[in-house]
Amino acid sequence: MAKCLPEIIKKINDKLNANVAELKKLPKNLSSVAEAMTAFMQILGSARESLRKILLRGEFDEYPEEKNMHCSARLVEMLNEYSSELQNCAENDPRTNFLLEELEVLEEAKAIGLPNFLPRTAFLTLLQRKVKGISSKPPSFVARVWEYIEGVVIRVLMRHCENYPQLQSSTRRAASNLINKMKEKVMDRMMEIVEMENLSDYTCNPEYMLEWNSLMSQQNKFMDAINKVSEPSIIVLNGIGEVDVENLRHRKQHIQEAFDLKMRITAYWKIVLRRFVDSMALHLLFSVQNLVNSDMEKEIVGELIGPNSSGSIGRMLEEAPSVAAKRDKLNRSVKLLRDSAAEVAKIMDIISTDGDYSD
């Protein structure tokens, strides 16, 4: 038995140290509103730093095994998915009803004037149809991405408030209200961008002219397929794909203008789609930074200590039953372990004095 005593006291001390460490992690009893305010601001500060790491810096050491909390990677995936959705819309397939829509629009855009000018009205009409076709995608993405951000923010805030359950309801409500406001602002901004693309056709991107010239270099090949009715009607156009010109051979009027119009809208639409993605990404980063660095703290402070506050700060002076029960259990355990360690130490002293410790 004597040989087992050192191991027994080591186990008691290990358990005692663990309980003391856990006891120290519990929030101290608050005795004044000033102390409660200090504790509240420390919670906000630590939560803000966690969100900076997760949402702004792309760090995930606080949640290493929870991929849903690796926010930078998840946001990039969501943006890539959004880009793919835009690219893969039916409106983006240039082979669909090849040139038929362009011919129809040119017919309706006729005006008294020189015959060798493409009417801008025709281009804008086609552009507006394409924008309308994808106009539901940006709002859908905004709703999806902010739902994800809301889940992350509330998860972090609840973890930092876990020792003060009195704060959790008000904090959750403030965070949800703020994110709903930000989501509406971003939604409005994205709809403005959609509307701007509807109103005008402009880019300073030199890729537009390069792409248009490349597409137009195939016009002779296309016209040969139109005119040589004995040849196969299916041709492959770079940047467009495989098209059937059979139903165009009897509609030669305006066919060259329609081809030019098609190549212009095809080249320009690629730039429009990039703008939709780039604008979304930049505005998302800007909004998330504002959320973490300033807006979140203002909203939560206003909810908890503003004129219409729910009194949560005052309730921090009343220790939550769950925390009080845990503190009481740990205190009793610490006392019992210390008493046990002392008793074992006495036994070891007696055995040592009697000279039988090694038996």
- We report the CATH number of the domain holding residue 151 as 1.20.120.1240
In this prediction, residues 307-311 reach a mean pLDDT of 62
CB atoms within 10 A of CB 186: 23
Whether residue 197 lies inside any domain: the answer is: yes
pLDDT above 70: residue 195: yes
Whether residue 255 lies inside any domain: the answer is: yes
CB atoms within 10 A of CB 116: 7
Element holding 80 (H helix, E strand): helix 71-87
What pLDDT, on a 0 to 100 scale, did the predictor assign at position 59?
94
pLDDT above 50: residue 252: yes
Whether residue 40 lies inside any domain: the answer is: yes
CB atoms within 10 A of CB 130: 20
In this prediction, residues 295-310 reach a mean pLDDT of 81
Domain total in the chain: 1
Whether residue 228 lies inside any domain: the answer is: yes
Whether residue 13 lies inside any domain: the answer is: no
Whether residue 260 lies inside any domain: the answer is: yes
pLDDT above 70: residue 355: no
Whether residue 16 lies inside any domain: the answer is: no
Whether residue 22 lies inside any domain: the answer is: no
What pLDDT, on a 0 to 100 scale, did the predictor assign at position 281?
96
What Rg value do the Cα atoms of the chain yield, rounded?
A: 35
Domain housing 58: 28-318
Model-level pTM? 0.81
Asked if residues 148 and 70 have their Cβ atoms less than 8 Å apart, the reply is no
Q: Identify the CA nearest to 140 among candidates 181, 178, 186, 177.
A: 186
What pLDDT, on a 0 to 100 scale, did the predictor assign at position 309?
61
User: Which of residues 224 and 317 earns the better pLDDT score?
Assistant: 224
